[in-house]
Structure 1
Amino acid sequence: MGRAEERRARQRGGRRAAPRRRRSSGAAGATGKSGIRRLFTWKKILGTFLGTCLLGIGAFVVLYLMIDIPQGNALAKEQGNVYKYSDGATLARKGLNREVVDLAEVPKPVQKAFVAAENKSFYSDSGVDLKGTARGVLNTLSGKGKQGGSTITQQYVKNYYLTQDQTVSRKLKELVISLKVDRRMSKDEILAGYMNTSFYGRDAYGIQAAAQSYYRVDAADLSLEQGAYLAALLQAPNSYDWSIASPTGKKLVRERWDYVLDNMVEEGWLDAGKRAAMTFPVPEDPKAAPGMEGQNGYIVEEANRELARQLVAQGSAADMEEALTKIKRGGWTITVNIDSKKQKLLEKAVEDQLTSKLDPKKRDVDADVQAGAVSVDPKTGRVLAMYGGTDYVEHYTNNATRDDYQPASTFKPMILAAALEEGATTQDGTPITASTVYDGDSKRPVVDNGTRVGFAPENEDDVDYGDITVQTAMNKSVNSVFAQMGVDVGMQKVLDVAGELGMDTEELEAVPAQTLGSMGASPLEMAGAYATLANHGKQVTPTLLKSAEHRATTVDLPDPVGERVISREAADTVTSVLTGVVDDGTARRSVRENPLRNGQQVAGKTGTSDDNKSAWFTGYTPDLVTSVGLFGEDDKPPHAQVPMYKAGGEPRVNGGGFPAQIWAQYTFGAMDKVTRFDLNTTQGAAVRPTPTPTPTPTPSEEPTTRSPSPSASVSESPSRTPSQTPSQTPTPTPTPTPTRTTPTATPPANGGGDNGGGGGLPDNPFDPEEDDQ
């Protein structure tokens, strides 16, 4: 071997280069595998890992040196919120409700309850939870939102020194500052800071404000049971507030309360025997802050919730809980669509037509009547007026947005809208229109393809109407007709159309009983659905917010008016039919004959729920939609739903009574001019009444003071045949012919014109106003 060759061999590790030769494909694969092994050796992997760790440690050291504890007392510098009417006038101002107390003023067991709830290792840890922080960073990077696991120290740092923003940089700052705070402050100082800066709901910041808000005591006088509830509350203050929590929220906070106390037993801070004897301390009902009296509190709270939904939708908050907390920390200027003049008119209408007539000293039931109302511009979706109750300070629940009472017969227009939109037919194939004839007998079994479905609803006062048109059935609110119509259309289709119109129907079961309006709904929800009808089928989402401004947040509000969800002809035909309810049906006396009407065209529907627990009138003109609901609510906890029989001196509170009277005074007082519907419908509706067989009433369990209508308003010479063969033949009893000559109401080409589906018809002296269900 020559010297040159030996030198090259040494450079290759002492091995002489092998002669080149061709390799098989298998050999080539082996070589590739060997190359991967050389690339990913355990030494290289370990080295990369250690190098990454060193870089991370180095970066953290740099962060630790660069980030110092910022100036504290950030919460004290926060501003309150300003709320304005649509014209810019101030509606209300809300400051932060907080009062700092020394930890020595908080009973030791209550202190331990907060530690047991949030951070059992608080007294021994270094102020951070590395695993929880890492999980939070990863979730933020992956877009999964906030994640629990922070220590009390970290939460205090977030509350007092930083913001609630869910960003990686904020979480890293929180980690560094928490380590430094833990070194510089005692555990008692940190715990006191945490308890004094946390948000407890009800606009209460700090343990003292929370103690007063929930239990009407100072923090020093809190029992362990009460302190454990407040500690449990911090996980979700807006969802766990007992006064407004859903059944699920109440269940969860009870479980959280148990968790806190059980942890105290586990840590040796509470005797097991004493724990077993403890009972859940139900908080007091909330009291409104100054400036929130009357309707202000209802409007402010609903504005906050609507804004919170937008913050979640645009990604500024992970969920409603975080969004509401962000809003209530202050610094917002929020303008609502409320028209101050219309707001005053609505409040006065409720006072004149309802509350002035209620006297709990004479009738106990009068204390149980709650009113709620919402008024909407159907062309813009703006909420122009809202009535949430007699006073936010006295009744915390907003009756305008509560959805725990049945809308009853105000749901019937949704069934007709679905029938028209779907081009549905009766069981014998007859298209469903305003003049289609149905069997209107009470307790008539509902049939689907020749089979009874096991549902036979009773009409109001158990009245048998015999063969009647859809128009008359709407006027008289005949349950048996609309139960059958719902099955003819298909209950799932009915719920789908109702959902498109604006009702919350996603979780409803598609059963015939829903045709009676047995679901829950709010005046806000019903106003939106009827506004969509008034807007010729274009979806209207009632919107309270006009604008919301904050120095660190820009809020883009969606257009309240959306796409067309049902055809214009279907929507306009329903409107035309609903004029008959006002002119010849259950709302005659309160609306049609109201002296303030002055020729104004009106469409609407009454509703009275089973056992008289709710009563409604939802109606509209071309420019204004208003839904009024009355709800029977026991004025004593737990505020159960109760009947309203004899309230206000009336035998029964029905939709054509107090609700329609409130509606009429408000609407006719708010009109700038008399308007008429521009309807595009080829169907005749709300036409001149003609004599029909007298219904045969069957005594009901709850008779009213008025007898059923002796005549039913139907189309002249209806061309449709009955959808079902009547189960019994009505006995025809001729009724007197009105002495006044009435013109034949032939609808113009567009179905509108002066009649507008019946808006200008003369009185029918033989058709007194009826109750309705």
Structure 2
Amino acid sequence: MSRAETRRAQTQRSARRAPSGRGKPAKGGAGGGKRTGIRRFFTWKTILGTFFGLILLLMAAAIILYFSVDEPTDPNKSATLQSNTYQYADGSVMARTGQMNRENVTIDKIPEDVRTAFIAIENKSFYKDRGIDVMGVARGLFNTVRGKGTAGGSTITQQYVKNYYLTQDQSPTRKLRELVISLKVDQRMEKDDILVGYLNTNFYGRNAYGIQAAAQAFYGVDSDKLTLEQGAYLASVIQAPSQYDLATAGPNGTRLVNIRFNAVLDNMVEMGKLDPAKRKTMTLPPPIKPKPRPGMDGQKGYLIQAANDEMEEQGIKEGEIAAGGWNIVLNIDPKKQKALEEAVNEELESKLDRKDTKNRPQDQSVQAGATSVDPKTGAIVAMYGGQGLTEKSESNALRTDYQPGSTFKPVVLAAALQENATTQDDKPITPNTLYDGTSRRPVKGSKVPFAPQNQDDRNFGDPMITVQGATDFSVNSVYAQMIVDVGPEKVKKTALALGMKDRRGWPDDQPAMALGTMSANTVEMAGVYATFDNHGKKVTPTIIKKAEHKEGKFTPRQAIGAQAISRKSADTVTKVLTGVVNDEGGSGNKVRSSAYEAAGKTGTTEKNVAGWFTGFTPELVTVVAMFGEDPTTHTQVTLTGTAGGGRAGGSTFPAAIWKTYTLAALKGKETAEFELKEADMGASQAPTRSASPTPSTTPSTTPSTSGTPTGSQSPSPTPTKSGSKPPTPTTSPTTSPDPTKTNGPKPPDPFLLYTSPIPRYSSLSLITYYSLKCGGCVG
């Protein structure tokens, strides 16, 4: 076969092998072979198409996600919980209440360099980014793998969103929602608002949520007093609060928090926010030792109770207070508060045996309450509410279920002076006006029969005694007549003007009202006597100095008001009450001291269920009361037998507490004397009276309450000049004149309960009997 024939044969065979209709060889490789299997998908067209397809798919998913995830309208529950902070008048923290130890602050309460410290370690691009930082997330993951803690994976906006709106759950779904909400929050909010929200919602350890609570927990200061170094430590500790707390950290925790602290400062230098030379001088400031969170122990619970009550009276609802976020500064002086608590413990609690129910049953029933007020400002500077909230849930200082007894008598005198009242024989009522001091003498001019007995059923005078003497010795028969002379309705008007409350059961037209048969608490009575001390300008005691809330407003009550009674009337009452303390035999002479000038009045109620001493100096008005309350039934019971003794009235434990407290509260201070230039004692009259009060020997047809104690000290023969101090201070101002030198009988031991037979009431109806029953309200 020739060569030409051979070539034709080969061509024919190749043609037969070629695909039908196609004479072109396949591309790719010798012999025109094609790609098979997975290789045929990896062309540049398929790869490029897939890439752009994924991009479009992700963009579509992002758009759908953005519009499907709404920004929450309400924060999570824990983000809004705050504590209420209560401070003493000097600014020191007394207590924090609430489920969450948090107090939100505004951005101006956080120093700028402290804010920058958090930005430097958490999110250097905070003021430039859009709320998320993809590179930051990647960097955070990388650092987590490496075990480094120099940068976080989330922006400050993301962390704020997580803290404020979401939870600490680490699921992918929560993370996606966090990213979307962060974008929306960044569009809606100012950067400074996001930053302060972040700082207020962080957990810092030591049960501290928010930078204010953290500043107090770690350094004992408010957030606006933080230094840069302290702020840098707080910015460091949030990454691992328990591990990085230097007070409890181990070697590794200490090393790591120091690394992070230095990273904060180095980053600030890098950002141009810190001078490199200054940076070299900075060291980590050790935090203070952890302290238990201030709570409701001791008297704190009662003080908080009083503050909350006052806020509610001013229109702040209970729910608004309970929601937290309040910073409440009280008028309480911590030194005076401590002095009052110590005085109660020393003069009362230390003498009681509350565990010996067999031999000292009465001690279980004793309750004490007290309020101390600055008469110039109306500030409640100290308050005693009881043994503690665990023993008694309501404050004895605020209770109104007991009568004030004879501490009300000065109100009757004030009304008489203010109304220019006269006696039944038209003589003006002044401190020197004479009254019949006979015990059980029926009052004249009253529509309601009343014939009260005096202390220990004694007659005072022969039979006349001055109003000053009747006040010194707390003579019931005189004041029962005086309130009739003035008019009970006018006395009530004066009482309300002085600050007492018109509660249910006020005996409008009853002469027994002179003996304090209405209800009152220690705060009210402190206000009444502070008004006397303040020359008649009304004093409304207030425990709150100021209260602030980010979203609330509170205006403390006006403590000093207008003239309630004239200065002349107020100063005259004060002058008379100095006699109660200074005159020999005065019911309040147990509190007499050369350290101060004082005025005051005792009060003991019917059946000896309550004893009061209300006293004041030019600087301080203090009301001390003790109550008999059955611990099981909460009924009123007698105080007789307290501390294993006898009668326990206003001149006993309350007066002792008052003196001990006042001496401590005024220690080291220059005390003043009363300015009573307008006091008018009236024309001087010498009473015709026997050498000493004598028991009534005239049979009485009017009833009296048998066994009623007085609480007043037994009177001595001759009162000294009203308001004068004893010529020589004694170590025991309670000493009475020697009864053997008088013409009368020896006064009974004031601690012994007086008892007498119950008189027959054959000619009296039960209605009349009960109208006379308060004849036993004495002292």
TM range (shorter): 0.5 to 0.7
Of residues 626, 633, 637, the one that matches 2:629 is 633
1:351 corresponds in structure 2 to 345
The match for 1:428 among 410, 425, 429 is 425
Query: Aligned residue for 2:312?
Result: 308
> Separation in 2 of the partners of 1:332 and 1:397?
22
Pairing 1:141-540 to 2, within 5 Å after superposition = 291-310=295-314, 312=315, 323-360=317-354, 361=356, 362-448=359-445, 453-465=448-460, 466-505=463-502, 507=504, 508-510=506-508, 511-540=510-539
- Provide, for residues 337-385 of structure 1, a one-character-per-residue CA deviation record: whole Å limited to 9, x for no partner: 0000000000000000000001131301101000000000000000000
Aligned to 2:719: 713
> CA contact under 8 A between 1:651 and 1:704: conserved in structure 2?
no
1:461, 1:415 → 2: CA distance? 22
Q: Does 1:81 align with 2:84?
A: yes
Name 1:28's counterpart in structure 2: none
Residue 96 of structure 2: aligned partner: 93
Name the counterpart of 2:615: 619
Aligned 8 A contact 1:602 1:759 in 2:
no
Cα offset, 1:758, TM superposition: 2.2
Whether 2:571 is the aligned partner of 1:568: answer no
What is the letter of the counterpart of residue 657 of structure 1? Answer: T
In 2, Cα distance between the equivalents of 1:670 and 1:765?
30
Kept in 2, the 8 Å contact 1:409–1:605? The answer is yes
Alignment partners' CA distance in 2, 1:428 and 1:419? 15
Aligned residue type for 1:412? K
What residue in structure 2 maps to residue 695 of structure 1? 693
Residue of structure 2 aligned with 1:602, choices 598, 602, 608:
598
| Partner Cα distance (1:331, 1:97) in 2 | 10
Aligned pairs, number: 464
State the Cα distance separating 1:305 from its structure 2 match.
Answer: 1.2
User: Residues 94 and 704 (structure 1 numbering): CA distance in 2 closer, same or farther, change over 3 Å?
Assistant: closer
Alpha-carbon distance between aligned partners in 2 of 1:325 and 1:689, rounded to the nearest angstrom: 62
RMSD across aligned C-alpha pairs, in angstroms? 3.0
1:679 aligns with 2:651: no
- Give the superposition deviation at 1:332: 0.6
Q: Which one is further off, 375-384 or 702-711?
A: 702-711
Distance (Å, rounded) in 2 between the aligned partners of 1:433 and 1:766: 31
TM-superposed deviation, 1:394: 1.6
Shift of 1:416: 0.2
Shift of 1:392: 2.0
Give me the whole-angstrom Cα distance separating, in 2, the residues matched to 1:706 and 1:619: 14
Indicate the SS of the match to 1:553: coil
Would the aligned equivalents of 1:598 and 1:674 in 2 still touch at CA under 8 Å? no
Cα gap change, 1:355 to 1:570, in 2 (>3 Å):
same
| Contact 1:373 1:386 (C-alpha < 8 Å) held by counterparts | yes
Question: How far apart are residue 73 of structure 1 and its match?
Answer: 2.6
Contact conserved, 2:535 with 2:570, CA < 8 A, in 1? Answer: yes
Extract unaligned runs of 5+ from structure 2: 1-67, 102-163, 166-292, 698-705, 740-746, 752-777
Cα gap change, 1:688 to 1:329, in 2 (>3 Å): farther
* Code of the aligned partner of 1:580: G
Seen in structure 2, the aligned counterparts of structure 1 residues 620 and 705 have a Cα distance that, compared at 3 Å, is: closer
Check conservation: 2:528, 2:539, Cα contact below 8 A. Answer: yes
Residue in 2 aligned with 1:591? 591
Q: CA deviation at 1:686?
A: 13
Shift of 1:615: 0.0
Q: Is the CA contact (8 Å cut-off) linking 1:476 and 1:770 kept in structure 2?
A: no
> Structure 1 residues 441 and 565, CA, compared in 2 at 3 Å: closer, same or farther?
same
Instruction: Choose 388-397 or 399-408, whichever is displaced more.
Output: 388-397
Larger radius of gyration: 2
Secondary structure at the aligned position of 2:601 is classed as strand
Change in 2 beyond 3 A, CA 1:688/1:649: farther
Return the TM-score normalized by structure 1.
0.56
Query: Separation in 2 of the partners of 1:688 and 1:665?
Result: 36
Structure 1 CA distance, aligned partners of 2:656 and 2:679?
32
Listed as ranges, the matches of 1:1-16 within 5 Å are none
Partner of 2:38: none
Match of 1:765 among 737, 741, 746: 737
Whole-angstrom CA distance in 2 between matches of 1:346 and 1:707: 24
Q: Tell me, in whole angstroms, the C-alpha distance in 2 between the residues paired with 1:695 and 1:86.
A: 49
Shift of 1:460: 1.6
Q: Secondary structure at the match of 1:660?
A: helix
Instruction: Give yes or no for contact 1:568–1:680 (8 Å, CA) kept in 2.
Output: no
Gaps of 5+ in 1: 1-64, 99-159, 162-288, 318-322, 715-744, 746-754
CA deviations over 1:13-33 (Å, ceiling 9, x no partner): xxxxxxxxxxxxxxxxxxxxx
Q: For the residues of structure 1 that align with 2:712 and 2:540, how far apart are their CA atoms? A: 38
CA distance in 1, matches of 2:658, 2:712: 22
Q: 1:328 to 1:759 in 2, by over 3 A?
A: farther
1:565 maps to amino acid:
A
After TM superposition, give the deviation of residue 696 of structure 1 in Å: 2.2
**Which of the numbers 652, 659, 664 marks the counterpart of 1:657?**
652
In 1: Cα distance, 2:365 partner to 2:491 partner = 33
**Greater alpha carbon shift after TM alignment, 345-354 vs 673-682:** 673-682
SS in 2 for 1:554: coil
Q: Give secondary structure in 2 for the equivalent of 1:539.
A: strand
Q: Letter of the aligned partner of 2:556 in structure 1? A: L
Match of 2:638 in 1: 643
In the alignment, is the contact (CA less than 8 A) between 1:407 and 1:616 conserved in 2?
A: yes
| Deviation sequence 1:252-271 (CA, Å, 0-9, x none) | xxxxxxxxxxxxxxxxxxxx
Match of 2:571, SS state, is helix
How big is the shift at 1:437?
0.4
Q: Which amino acid aligns with 1:374?
A: T
Counterpart CA distance in 1 for 2:594 and 2:565 is: 31
Q: How far apart are 1:391 and its partner, in Å?
A: 1.3
Q: Percent identity?
A: 47
The AA in structure 1 aligned to 2:303 is I
Q: CA deviation at 1:442?
A: 1.1
CA deviation map 1:687-719 (0-9, x unaligned): 9999940322159636799994352527xxxxx
Partner of 2:664 in structure 1?
A: 669
Question: Does the 8 A contact of 1:688 with 1:713 survive in 2?
Answer: no
Match of 1:673, SS state, is: coil
Contact 2:465–2:688, Cα closer than 8 Å, also in 1: no
Instruction: Using the TM superposition, give the Cα deviation of residue 509 of structure 1 relative to its aligned residue in structure 2, in angstroms.
Output: 3.0
- Contact map agreement 2:625 2:654 (CA 8 A) in 1: yes
Paired residues of 2:87 and 2:95 also in contact (CA < 8 A)? yes
Instruction: Report the Cα offset of residue 457 of structure 1.
Output: 1.1
Provide, for residues 88-110 of structure 1, a one-character-per-residue CA deviation record: whole Å limited to 9, x for no partner. 00000112289xxxxxxxxxxxx
* Distance change (3 Å), C-alpha of 1:391 and 1:482: same
Specify the SS of the correspondent of 1:92. Answer: strand
Rate the CA distance shift 1:78–1:588 in 2: closer, same or farther, 3 A. closer
Q: CA deviation at 1:587?
A: 3.9
Q: Alignment partner of 1:294: what SS?
A: coil
- Give the aligned residue type for 1:440: G
- Closer, same or farther: CA 378–369 of 1 in aligned 2, 3 Å: same
